[in-house]
Amino acid sequence: MDEAELNAIRSARLAELQKNSGQSTGASGSQPESQKDQMKTSMMAQILEPAARERLSRVRIVRADRAEAVEQYLIKLASTGSITRKISEDDLVEILDSLSRDEKKQTQSKIVFNRRTTVDDDDDDFFD
Which secondary-structure segment (H or E) carries 32? helix 31-47
Residue 27 pLDDT level (bands cut at 50, 70, 90): very low
Domain positions in the chain: 39-103
CA distance 102 to 52: 21
pLDDT digits (tens, 9 = 90+) for 60-76: 999 999 999 999 999 89
Q: How many residues does the chain have?
A: 128
pLDDT of residue 5 exceeding 90, the answer is no
pLDDT of the residue at 57: 92
- pTM of the full structure: 0.57
- Distances in Å between the Cα of 61 and the Cα atoms of 10, 11, 64, 126 are 25, 28, 6, 71
CATH code that applies to domain 39-103: 1.10.8.140
Cα separation, 59 vs 28, in Å, equals 29
> Residue 19: pLDDT band by 50, 70, 90 thresholds?
confident
Which strand (E) or helix (H) includes residue 97? helix 89-107
CA–CA distance, 102 with 48 (Å, rounded to integer): 22
Contact between 66 and 101 (Cβ < 8 Å): no
